[in-house]
Amino acid sequence: MLFHPTIMALLLWSAAAVAGVAVAAAYGWTILMEWNPASGSARQLVLERRTYLVSTLMAVVLWGEVLSLWLFVYNADAMAVMFVGAMCAVGSLNADPYGFPALIAKIALFFLAVVWLQVNRADNQGWDYPLVRVKYALLLILVPAVVLSAGLQYAYFSGLRADVLTSCCSKLFEVDREGVGADMSSLAPMPALVLLYGGLGLTLLLSVWTWRRPVLSAALAPVAAAVFVAVMVSVVSVVSTYVYAQPQHHCPFCLLKPEYGYVGYALYLPLFVGTALAVSSWPVHHFRRAASLAQAAPAMTRSMAWVAAACYVAVAVVCTWIIAASELYYFR
């Protein structure tokens, strides 16, 4: 189902993102190969100036990915009417086996792009660009990631078939088949809530510690990544049901709808920002070993940990508010 304005926009964008990252990587490759800070040659100046192009391209790709992630989810929700049994975005994403992989790849790409840009920001503070090689090697890893994400998205959209009336063959269209799974599997409320608050508490504690002792970012980053998954699982399992006041409706996407006061944005925005910063705090801190970043890298790590901590508090507050304001009660 490629002949659809939003799908075309998303496919065009993913093609542009592949092209953008490919150009960035090609320039990055020349930088990686020829970089020589000791040289005063014109070539070195050309390479230095290319770093600006690469970071600009990456920033645009990042923001485009953010917007396209949003549009992807929004569109999945809008398309639900076209699939038998699909009630919302979950159904549309389940309508083809590549739906959820495409979504997950987009989210992963967002985090990778943030990490790259933060490493880039750190590097730009060291007067001798100490991370140049690391940075452009990382960029080469981003290329397959963005290609994979684009490929999965294409596979998803091209595999979609709207359940549409045709004038021939079958007589009955709304067959009594099992509709595409409208719900996601879920945990029981109690373990889900323990997971949610336990995870948030742990990351909050670690971010505050990292703020005081930046070296702990090595623990914060992997924990934050794991807690992101845990929080998403609890949102699906329990937080969403509180929002809809329906114990059967497990959907992380309907939260974004006006019917529910756009509460999803209040939840996901701090969650994504906090996770992205917590995850990038570690690579950034790792680079304190470069003499020119000995001061700047820990300072950056600390400020990232601080913002991440604020974000986790925000997530916890929003979740608690949702549960407190809900008409649904699991425990009395």
Q: Rounded to whole angstroms, how far apart are CA atoms 180 and 178?
A: 6
| Stretch in the footprint of another protein (CB under 8 A) among 59-67, 139-147, 185-193, 228-236 | 59-67
Residues 14 to 43 in contact with another protein, rule: CB under 8 A: 16, 20, 37-42
**Closer residue to another protein, CB minimum distance, 20 or 199:** 20
**How distant, in Å, are the alpha carbons of 92, 96, 263, 291, 326 from that of 240?**
18, 23, 10, 48, 10
With a CB cutoff of 8 Å and minimum separation 6, the contacts of 293 are 122, 123, 125, 126, 130, 131, 287
Among positions 22, 60, 187, 205, the unique one binding another protein when judged by CB under 8 A:
60
The verdict on 67 binding another protein (CB under 8 A) reads yes
Size of the site for another protein (CB under 8 A): 57
Using an 8 Å Cβ cutoff, are 91 and 180 in contact? yes
With H, G, I as helix, E, B as strand and everything else as coil, classify residue 330: coil
Whose Cβ is closer to another protein: residue 1's or residue 314's? 1
CB of 130 to another protein, least distance (A): 11
Query: How far is residue 157's CA from residue 99's CA, in Å, rounded to a whole number?
Result: 8
Does position 62 interact with another protein (CB under 8 A)? The reply is: no
Sole residue written with tokens 């209040």: 266
d(CA 137, CA 146): 15
In angstroms, rounded to a whole number, what is the distance separating the alpha carbons of residues 332 and 330? 7
The maximal CA–CA distance of the chain, rounded, in angstroms, is 77
Which C-beta is closer to another protein: that of 30 or that of 124?
124
The yes or no reply on residue 291 touching another protein (CB under 8 A) is no
Site for another protein in 219-258 (CB under 8 A): none
Segment interacting with another protein (CB under 8 A) among 82-90, 230-238, 247-255, 318-326: 82-90
From 22, 29, 30, 64, residue interacting with another protein (rule: CB under 8 A)? 64
Q: How far is the CB of 3 from another protein (least distance, A)?
A: 4
Here's the x/- map for another protein, 145-174, by CB under 8 A: it reads as -----------------xxxx-xx--xxxx
List the Cα angle 277/280/281 in 5-degree steps: 80
d(CA 229, CA 210): 21
For residues 166 and 185, which CB has a smaller minimum distance to another protein in the complex? Answer: 166
Among 21, 32, 75, 283, binds another protein (CB under 8 A): 75
| Token pair 């996601």 in the structure block, residue | 184
C-alpha to C-alpha distance for 165 and 84, rounded to whole angstroms: 12
Half-sphere exposure of 301 (CA within 13 A, CB side): 30
User: Which of residues 14 and 234 has its CB atom nearest to another protein in the complex?
Assistant: 14
57 closest CA partner among 154, 139, 147, 160: 139
The CB-of-7 to another protein minimum distance in angstroms stands at: 8
| 77 closest CA partner among 55, 98, 95 | 95
Query: 115-134: which residues touch another protein (CB under 8 A)?
Result: 124, 127-129
Q: Which of residues 298-317 bind another protein (CB under 8 A)?
A: none
CB of 262 to another protein, least distance (A): 10
Residues found near another protein in the complex (CB under 8 A): 1-10, 12-13, 16, 20, 37-42, 45, 48-49, 52-53, 56-57, 60, 64, 67-68, 70-71, 74-75, 78-79, 81-84, 124, 127-129, 162-165, 167-168, 171-176
